[in-house]
Amino acid sequence: MTEAFDFSLIDWSRGQFALTAMYHWIFVPLTLGLGFIIAIMETIYVKTGDPAWKRITKFWMTIFGINFAIGVATGIILEFEFGTNWSNYSWFVGDIFGAPLAIEGIMAFFLETTFIAVMFFGWNKVSKRFHLLSTWLVAFGASLSALWILVANAWMQMPVGMKFNPDTARNEMVNFWEVLFSPMAMSKFTHTISSSYLLGAIVVIGISAWFLLKKRHQVFAKRSIVVAAVFGLVTSAFTVLTGDFSAKVIAKNQPMKFAAFEGLYHGQRGAPLVAIGVVSTTPTDPDNENIKDFVFKIEIPNFLSYMAFSDFNAFIPGIKDLMEGNEEHGIMPAAEKISKGKLAIDALAEYKQAKAVGNMAKQAEAQQILEENFKYFGYGYFGTNPDHLVPNVPLTFYSFHIMVALGFWFLLFFAIVLVLVYKDKISNARFWLILAIVNIPLAYLASQSGWVTAEMGRQPWVIQDLMPTMTAVSHLDANAVITTFILFAVVFTTLLIAELKIMFKTIKNGPKTEGGN
């Protein structure tokens, strides 16, 4: 059935959405992290009355504001693309997907934007405590905004709390709380938000390290490093814990993605975790070009099984098991899922035909078949060759391992920085200060890798098992999407360059009239 789709349109639509999302995600995690760091700094100012802390707060507030403005602009474009490029998806699940996005706009975004005005322009116009409250509300509002967006994304990865209506061919929400508190939503929110806090801490330490290397604003830099390092150590530890929780949720609900994380082709008990590996560029299976072995790898025995199910001897299905089936472990072959999916699609067509002619018996029979097989509905759009059910394994593998390796490195780095601060050696630790600056692009690499892992690993699904990406696109001319892709790339790149110039100028100027150095 895949021959009927315009894959040029599909690929360019995916590319445009990925472009917008990745540019948007350059700005969002920094504002999420900086929001709480600023709130902590202002709390210290209000408690101590030390004007140096006010200058510190206002400097980082400027960095926050620069990123917040561009993040809002790219976020609005991103949401519009659901209607322009993915209208079939919006029709199929708009009743569910639209709800958290609407709540985000009504509740979280308005909370953020209302109090951000007080945060920036309320100095000396409102009381210290009200200004502090406003700063905390902006920080909480940003995270609350992220919650609803991540709930919507998590539902795509694990659709729950819904029922398909054959009369409208739409999914309808039946349990809002199940959507909000699904394990996928909770794991995705906690892991994404904590990793964003980590990134904010890395940026603050990196910029502060530059001031120390330049022998400028050293009191400002040291104080900023202390707050960011403590905040970063706590949030990086939480990121590791939430990452472990997320892995368990994915192993249970998205086994193909989990297998792609590790390039695991053949299921096994006591599956090892690949610590370091290089995936071959040449397919090892003549029947499936997606299956590639490792050139070399270093493994930690049994650890993948433990990571997935807290059992060193647990069985982890590989890509071959998920494609060909494994009767011993109750894994249905992909071909059988495709067959059931086609039954569901045909039953929906028969349901509509029977309803049109008033054949109630045939309508009821078709509805029963549809309900029995609906969980495989999306598989019905694949042909007899189910190769497209396997994601891009090398890309998923590398992005996952980059994210994990850097996550552990940042945890260690925060601890080292705090030791240097405690021993009063941070000012002269040139190697670590340079490394702190290098960590800034590494933090963004880890953040982007996390999204590549999450979104590429679930392909070909836009809604897990229910809607493949190829059926979600709008009926557009591929050339129109190519044109807008180029336009967006130019505009977003221009915005990024402008943002970086403003950031660098702000950093070069440093905090205003800081005393005590």
Give whole-number Cα distances, 358 to 165, 314, 350, 364, in Å. 18, 52, 12, 11
Q: How many CB atoms lie within 10 A of CB 319?
A: 24
* Closest to 97 (Cα-Cα) out of 83, 108, 76: 83
- The torsion defined by the Cα of 468, 469, 471 and 477, in degrees rounded to 10, comes to -170
Residue 197 CA to residue 34 CA, distance in Å, equals 7
pTM of the entire structure?
A: 0.91
Q: Which two tokens stand for residue 137?
A: 């509300």
Give every CB contact of residue 454 below 8 A, 6+ residues apart in sequence.
153, 157, 188
* Joined tokens for residue 353: 């035909």
- Residue identified by tokens 């940026």 is 203
Instruction: Provide the pLDDT for residue 133.
Output: 95
Tell me which residue has tokens 């905040």: 231
Q: Are 512 and 55 in contact (CB under 8 A)?
A: yes
| Per-residue pLDDT at 297 | 86
* Amino acid at residue number 211: F
Q: How far apart are CA 358 and CA 341, in angstroms?
A: 25
Strands (E), 417-482: 461-463, 467-468
Residue 201's pLDDT is: 97
Tokens 């906690």 correspond to what residue?
Answer: 190
Neighbours of 437 (CB within 10 A): 15
Hey, which residues does 277 pair with through a beta bridge? 297
What is the distance, to the nearest Å, from the Cα of residue 44 to the centroid of all Cα atoms in its chain?
32
Burial letters 222-245, b for 16+ CB under 10 A, else e: bbbbbbbbbbbbebbebbbebbee
Tens-level pLDDT at each residue, the chain (517 residues): 444 678 889 999 999 999 999 999 999 999 999 999 999 999 999 999 999 999 999 999 999 998 888 888 888 888 888 888 898 998 888 888 888 888 887 777 777 778 888 999 999 899 999 999 999 999 998 898 889 989 999 999 999 999 999 998 899 999 999 999 999 999 999 999 999 999 999 999 999 999 999 999 999 999 999 999 999 999 999 999 999 999 999 999 999 999 999 989 889 999 999 988 888 777 666 666 666 678 888 889 999 999 999 999 999 999 989 998 998 989 999 999 999 999 999 999 999 999 998 899 999 999 999 999 999 999 999 876 677 899 988 899 999 999 999 999 999 999 999 999 999 999 999 999 999 999 999 999 999 999 999 999 999 999 999 999 999 999 888 899 999 999 999 999 999 999 999 999 999 998 976 443 3
| Residue among 336, 337, 364 nearest 351 (CA) | 364
Residue ranges in 158-217 assigned as alpha helix (H): 176-180, 183-213
Distances in Å between the alpha carbon of 162 and those of 57, 59, 94, 249? 45, 46, 12, 19
How many helices and strands (H and E) does the chain possess? 17, 8
Least Cα distance to 467 among 289, 344, 331 occurs for 344
The pLDDT value recorded for residue 515 is: 43
The pLDDT, as a whole number, for residue 288 is 60
Report the C-alpha gap between 298 and 512 in whole angstroms. Answer: 51
